């Protein structure tokens, strides 16, 4: 572990983790994430513009050499906070590393808009992208944390329609809102960022009338056709470690070529910390190399 990551993890443990324990106070949580995102601005060489798809406002990030397929990214934030703006820095770096245009929909958030509102927005924006002239096989789905869960759920829906996308990238995805993974308990003290004791209350804010086991909320239980390459990365000390491991197993069983990367001691969505932490920069390069490897 680098000195920079060690310092960041210590700061998360003493300041970030208590902050995230207040996720049910959504106004405070949202403002805090916006403020934090100012330390991770859009990288040089990437331009941003706003344009809606399927009635959903989206942020488009275009690197100078954005000539490859389109990266359709769904942002994290436990379904209650976050936006295209708060994730522009991380996704902009991924887009630059991959040489791809990235599209970030501003999906609706709970508790004002409980599930499945976020997934409905993701589906509408995806369909809007296809209607704009980008074929599904030229689209890579991606997401981090709760956005990773939305991306996995979207993949299941897209594949159920007989469509084929180019690939899937998930960073520390939250895919089981039943909280049945052992790591929710075994890593509760080790996770430097996510407070296990607060997650159940957040689920109640998110789920609306749906059961936490509904595949629209918990895509761990969804069906997959196994038609696209998948990259999943997760920290070994995360409470969501088992979400990634079990999802990788399910997708692999369905026939997908899955690469699961366990990052020693890395916090939740370590890539967000680029450019300040070397492990985060390495993670951006890893995702960029995966995306460049897709034959589309």
- Alpha-carbon gap, residue 247 to 121, rounded angstroms: 23
User: Does the active-site annotation cover 279?
Assistant: no
**C-alpha separations of 106 from 50, 114, 231 in Å:** 10, 15, 23
User: Does the active-site annotation cover 164?
Assistant: no
Annotated active-site residue in 159, 218, 268, 279: 268
Q: Which residues are paired to 233 by β-bridges?
A: 171, 261
Indicate the pairing of strand 58-63 with strand 46-50. Answer: antiparallel
Annotated active-site residue in 145, 183, 244, 266: 145
User: Does the active-site annotation cover 145?
Assistant: yes
- Closest CA relative to residue 76, chosen from 118, 116, 111: 118
Annotated active-site residue in 83, 159, 218, 238: 238
Separation of CA 27 from chain center: 21
DSSP letter for 77, please.
S
Residue 4: Cβ-neighbour burial (10 angstroms; 0-12, 13-18, 19+): middle
**202: phi then psi, degrees, rounded to nearest 5:** -65, -40
User: 181: which residues sit within 8 A by CB, 6+ positions away?
Assistant: 239, 240, 241, 242, 243, 246
The residues that are catalytic are 145, 238, 268
């Amino acid at each position: 572990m680098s000195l920079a990551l060690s310092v960041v993890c210590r700061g998360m443990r003493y300041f970030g983790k208590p902050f995230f324990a207040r996720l049910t106070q959504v106004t405070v949580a949202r403002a805090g994430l916006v403020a934090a995102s100012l330390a991770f601005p859009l990288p040089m060489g990437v331009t941003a513009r706003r344009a809606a798809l399927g009635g959903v406002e989206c942020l488009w990030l275009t690197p100078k050499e954005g000539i490859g397929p389109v990266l359709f990214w769904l942002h994290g934030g436990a379904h209650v906070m976050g936006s295209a703006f708060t994730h522009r820095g991380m996704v902009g770096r991924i887009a630059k590393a991959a040489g791809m245009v990235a599209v970030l929909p501003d999906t609706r958030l709970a508790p004002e808009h409980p599930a499945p509102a976020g997934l409905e927005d993701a589906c509408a924006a995806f369909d809007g992208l296809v209607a704009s002239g980008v074929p599904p096989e030229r689209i890579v789905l991606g997401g981090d944390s709760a956005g990773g869960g939305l991306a996995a759920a979207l993949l299941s829906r897209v594949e159920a329609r007989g469509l084929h996308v180019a690939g899937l990238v998930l960073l520390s995805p939250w895919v089981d809102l039943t909280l049945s993974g052992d790591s929710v308990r075994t890593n509760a003290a080790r996770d430097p960022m996510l407070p296990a004791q607060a997650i159940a209350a957040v689920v109640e804010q998110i789920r609306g009338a749906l059961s936490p086991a509904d595949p629209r909320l918990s895509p761990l239980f969804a069906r997959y056709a196994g038609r696209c390459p998948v990259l999943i990365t997760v920290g070994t000390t995360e409470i969501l470690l088992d979400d990634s491991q079990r999802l990788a197993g399910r997708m692999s069983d369905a026939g997908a070529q899955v690469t699961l990367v366990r990052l020693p001691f890395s916090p939740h969505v370590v890539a967000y910390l680029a450019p300040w932490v070397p492990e985060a920069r390495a993670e951006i390069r890893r995702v960029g190399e995966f995306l460049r490897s897709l034959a589309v």
